[in-house]
Structure 1
Amino acid sequence: MRVNVKGVIIPQDYKRVYDWYDMESTTPRDIADALAAANGQPIEVYINSGGGYVHAGADIYTALSEYPGEVNIKIIYAASAASVIAMAGHSMISPVGQMMIHNVYSSADGDYRALHRAGDRLDIACDALANAYMRKTGKTRDEIRAMMDEETWVDAHRAVELGLVDEVMGGDLVAADVPGLLPESVVQKTLAMFRDQNAAALAQAKTDYENLIKKGVV
């Protein structure tokens, strides 16, 4: 059975927003539903994603790691949170595939204590993700964290050399661009409109977003 991890990786609560804007996305529930349908049978997980929200990616990684059946991962493009998901089983990468690993991103405000706490939380989150790369590659934490610090991009053969991927696949799969994350303000505004069931406001929100695209803001 084929399981797709495509587009941006988002929490389930954001799914309606991305669907509204016709943007491809994957949520932990999408994967949970696919695994339930597979019912222990072998699965092929196709990844073509630039990543997204770290907790959603960790949720998907864990679900695939715990799946009782055989998990074969086929990578076209796996960056950021998607590269974590790629660590969850035996993996192959397209000859034209790419991978990227980096540190967790976030934002914070407040006094120096709040910013220090935010930095500590980011460090812990990076260590948590490093566990997945360490488990797959056999590399040390220091080695993996150094790669994350450098925002490491690799092609198919380098990914295999580093142990991030098991082998290069044959075939004619072609890497594709992945849409980026929606601005958080757009997501929250649209969610509020969904709650209000305001069709006119939803239409305006979509127009506003399209105008932002035309202006090159997003």
Structure 2
Amino acid sequence: NSWFRMQAGHQSDADIYIYDEIGFWGVTAKQFISDLNALGDITHINLHINSPGGDVFEGIAIFNALKTHGASITVYVDGVAASMASVIAMVGNPVIMPENSFMMIHKPFGFTGGDAEDMRTYADLLDKVEAVLLPAYAQKTGKTTDEIAAMLADETWMSGAECLAHGFADQVTPAVKAMACIQSKRTEEFKKMPESIRNMITPPRNSAPRVQDDGPAASRTPVQAAAPVVDENSIRAQVL
């Protein structure tokens, strides 16, 4: 697959590259975990990220698989770790970022359709998703969940140096040349994306428009792996 790669390195090391969206036609949790298990008995993972984020439930499954794996993990944010990709980056100890890389955190964002009760149920779901994600950031940074929640509400974009100052990264390295463009429609949803990052994310080639990504309007597309407390025929939740 072109969207991510895992390979065994020297002895008990492995290199993992996530260079696409989380979920959708990108990095699915099912394939990721299958390939992770196939690596066998490894003790260290080098996880390289250049991703605009994606589906929250797929991302949580990937995060949990890495968090409980047992191997030590070094995360390299090679270009951008936005949205759900930034949550996955929190498994790293250390997290290493070039000066010209970025990380973005924001509130859970998604779409639903239905009556007023469906809307209220969906709003409650988004609040629950945020409550699940907050500890990942707080544990890494040492910030309180209230401090993290304020940063999420503001769609916070941070350079490598800013991530280091706020505790999201442990080391900043010299700037590297621009990474290859990511094919994604994320630029349509992010409100405060720096132009230097916007130019790195291009619309997918030969892909049909995705109804659920047209903006903050109700989606007509059901989630494939809905939370058990939500009607999967009417609710779609993502961190985009």
Give TM class, smaller chain.
0.7 to 0.9
User: What is the rounded CA distance, in whole Å, between the counterparts of 2:16 and 2:60 in structure 1?
Assistant: 17
Match of 2:36 in 1: 35
User: Which ranges of structure 2 fall in alignment gaps of 5 or more residues?
Assistant: 1-13, 187-204, 215-240
Is the 8 Å Cα contact of residues 51 and 82 (structure 1) preserved in structure 2? yes
User: What is the rounded CA distance, in whole Å, between the counterparts of 1:97 and 1:34 in structure 2?
Assistant: 27
Give me the CA root mean square deviation: 2.5
Q: How far did 1:38 drift?
A: 4.8
> How many residues are treated as equivalent by the alignment?
178
Using a 3 Å threshold, how does the CA distance of structure 1 residues 109 and 35 change in structure 2: closer, same or farther? Answer: closer
Q: Structure 1 residue 80 and structure 2 residue 83: aligned?
A: yes
Match of 1:169 in 2: 173
Aligned amino acid, residue 112 of structure 1: A
Match of 1:3 in 2: 16
Aligned amino acid, residue 32 of structure 1: I
The structure with the largest helix share of the pair is: 1
Q: 4+ residue stretches of structure 1 with deviation over 6 A?
A: none
Match of 2:142 in 1: 138
TM-score by length of 2: 0.67
Q: How far did 1:170 drift?
A: 4.2
Note the 1:56-135 alignment, pairs <5 A.
Answer: 56-76=58-78, 77-90=80-93, 91-135=95-139
Is the 8 Å Cα contact of residues 54 and 84 (structure 2) preserved in structure 1? yes
Is the 8 Å Cα contact of residues 2 and 43 (structure 1) preserved in structure 2? yes
Is the 8 Å Cα contact of residues 49 and 82 (structure 1) preserved in structure 2? yes
Q: How far did 1:110 drift?
A: 2.7
Alpha-carbon displacement from aligned partner over 1:83-115 (angstroms, at most 9, x marks no partner): 000001211012210000011111123332221
Match of 1:54 in 2: 56
Is the 8 Å Cα contact of residues 100 and 175 (structure 2) preserved in structure 1? no
Alpha-carbon displacement from aligned partner over 1:159-218 (angstroms, at most 9, x marks no partner): 111111111134735344322259xxxxxxxxxxxxxxxxxxxxxxx9783xx69xxx9x
Using a 3 Å threshold, how does the CA distance of structure 1 residues 82 and 124 change in structure 2: closer, same or farther? Answer: same
Is the 8 Å Cα contact of residues 64 and 89 (structure 1) preserved in structure 2? no
TM-score by length of 1: 0.74
Greater CA radius of gyration, 1 or 2?
1
Alpha-carbon displacement from aligned partner over 1:117-149 (angstroms, at most 9, x marks no partner): 211110110111111101111111111111001
User: Which ranges of structure 1 fall in alignment gaps of 5 or more residues?
Assistant: 19-24, 183-205
